[in-house]
Amino acid sequence: MNIGIIGSGGREHALCLKLNESKIIEKIYCFPGNAGTSKIAENYDINIDNFSEIKKISEKKNIELLIVGPEKPLVNGIVDFFKNTKIKIFGPNKISSQLEGSKTFTKMLCKKFNIPTSNFEIFKNREDAIRFLNNSNFPIVIKADGLAAGKGVYICGSKEESISAVHEIFDGKFGNAELVLIEEFLKGEEMSYFVICDGKNYSFFQTAQDHKRVGEGDTGSNTGGMGAYSPSRLNNLELQNKINKKIIEPTLKGLEDLNTQYVGFLYVGLMIVDNEPYLIEYNVRMGDPECQTILPLLKSDLGKIILSCCNNDLKSEKIEWLNEKSICFVLCSNGYPGNYKKNIKIDNIKNLEIKEKGHFIFHAGTKSIDKDIYSDGGRVLNVVITSDTFTDCKNKALEVLKKINWMDGFYRKDIGYKVTNL
Ligand code: AMP
Ligand code: GLY
């Protein structure tokens, strides 16, 4: 069958490469894709918020299945839009996507089903929020409701900092925020846990750990993700069982009570405190760059797995993994996550041949002009290595990054520092 992948990041390039191996897929179209996907698929430069345009092209190209990478079209209801058409679409519908789109929706669900999460209060105006902060302990976490592209979360060490965060949010820094969440600060180690769901059942889809901060040692501003490794060093069967029973199953039950079903990848952002999981957030998609570390470890046919989810038949698929480690380093434009320049040539990528097994370069913000590759975003390239040890992955990834030697970009050299030898 022909399929379409919606999105343009490293996650979508990794999906594209894996789906290109599928026995059931003939041709892949990417909406809009990037310079990397253009080597294995046909890119269509369209606005992914325009669902009618996606439908028109999908019909023209005989696309039978669409796979949605990023959250925004999901939260805006792309799955509902395609519901009564002949085109299957993989991802959660608008109601279920509130798990990512509305932090208050998720917190209320946690309350109702006793799902472990930090204690929280929701405020509609700044006066009440500030009154609450006057009697709080610090650090404390302040969040804008709604999608904020990984921003909109403040970890505040003092009353002054937290009051200024409340003002920034209500002043509209992250769009029209009508609600502010104030949460207890959880002290532990984070883990990203993934499952894939078919509306009735779900299967484990690996763990990872991303590095969100821009600076080495996990310092500085938050970013979309500077790198990741898989599996997480925290995962164990006992913990996995707790996550499934205490968090995922009640969540899916909560959605069922709303007369809906969850189909798609579900990303469970957790804080692990003494081998106990606490939900920090849900994302209704794969993580980026977690996806780039996880998919190279997948042995099974991703196309078949996704199609079985669209047919409510995930049980018929066995999901198998390589018993290896994986690390992803993200090469960014200088200045990211602040201001950065675009359209800068990445000279050495053109002649860099990646032939070794377990070595991947996924493109994120890139575009090709003639035969050259140019930067087109903040996160530009992802170097991913799979191997028997994390240390080997890291050393090999750093060698590739040295060869790319892009003077207009930077990367964190310490990705996976908790699992590698220095
Ligand atoms: P979120 O967008 O909700 O994932 O938050 C972004 C980041 O802020 C998370 O990955 C955590 O590092 C941190 N964070 C969010 N909520 C909490 C919390 N309640 N306690 C500690 N850290 C948190
Ligand atoms: N890596 C974090 C995210 O995809 O949200």
DSSP of 70-135, one letter per residue?
SHHHHHTTHHHHTTTSS-EEES--TTTTHHHH-HHHHHHHHHHHT--B--EEEESSHHHHHHHHTT
The token pair that represents 422 in the structure block? 């220095």
Distance CA(193)–CA(62), nearest Å, equals 34
- For residue 384, give the nearest of 306, 325, 304, 328 by alpha carbon: 328
Q: 280: CA distance to ligand 1 center in Å?
A: 6
pLDDT digits (tens, 9 = 90+) for 55-93: 999 999 999 999 999 999 999 999 999 999 999 999 999
| Ligand 1 within 6 A of CB of 153 | yes
Cα–Cα separations (whole angstroms), residue 345 to 280, 367, 379, 382:
39, 10, 14, 16
Q: Is the pLDDT of residue 221 over 90?
A: no
pLDDT digits (tens, 9 = 90+) for 378-390: 999 999 999 999 9
Q: 285: CA distance to ligand 2 center in Å?
A: 9
Torsion, CA 282, CA 334, CA 339, CA 352, rounded to 10: -70
| For ligand 1, atom 1: residue with the closest CA | 281
Are 185 and 143 in contact by the 8 Å Cβ rule? The answer is no
Distance CA(158)–CA(171), nearest Å, equals 20
Percent of the chain with pLDDT over 90: 92
Distance CA(345)–CA(325), nearest Å, equals 32
Note the pTM of the prediction, 2 decimals. 0.96
- For residue 285, give the nearest of 268, 298, 305 by alpha carbon: 268
Q: List CB contacts of 266: < 8 A, sequence separation 6 or more.
A: 92, 99, 194, 195, 196, 197, 202, 248, 282, 283, 284
pLDDT digits (tens, 9 = 90+) for 164-179: 999 999 998 888 778 8
| Ligand 1 within 6 A of CB of 141 | yes
The stretch 195-220 carries a mean pLDDT of: 96
The stretch 103-125 carries a mean pLDDT of: 95
| Ligand 1 within 6 A of CB of 408 | no
Ligand 2 pocket: which of 210, 285, 330 to mutate (most atoms within 8 A of CB)? 210
Distance CA(232)–CA(294), nearest Å, equals 11
Q: List CB contacts of 179: < 8 A, sequence separation 6 or more.
A: 104, 122, 123, 124, 145
Q: 288: CA distance to ligand 2 center in Å?
A: 5
The whole-number pLDDT of residue 152 equals 79
Q: Tell the residue number behind the tokens 């821009």, with chain if given.
A: 214
When pLDDT is cut at 50, 70 and 90, the band that residue 242 belongs to is: very high
Amino acid at site 202: Y
The stretch 267-271 carries a mean pLDDT of: 98
User: Domains in the chain, please, with CATH?
Assistant: 2-91 (3.40.50.20), 119-184 (3.30.1490.20), 189-316 (3.30.470.20), 325-420 (3.90.600.10)
| Ligand 1 within 6 A of CB of 140 | no
The ligand 1 atom at the shortest distance from the C-alpha of residue 185 is: 20
Distance CA(92)–CA(335), nearest Å, equals 34
Half-sphere exposure of 154 (CA within 13 A, CB side): 25
The whole-number pLDDT of residue 52 equals 97
Range scoring the smallest mean pLDDT among 167-171, 206-210, 225-229 = 167-171
| For ligand 1, atom 9: residue with the closest CA | 280
The whole-number pLDDT of residue 172 equals 86
| Ligand 2 within 6 A of CB of 100 | no
| Ligand 1 within 6 A of CB of 212 | yes
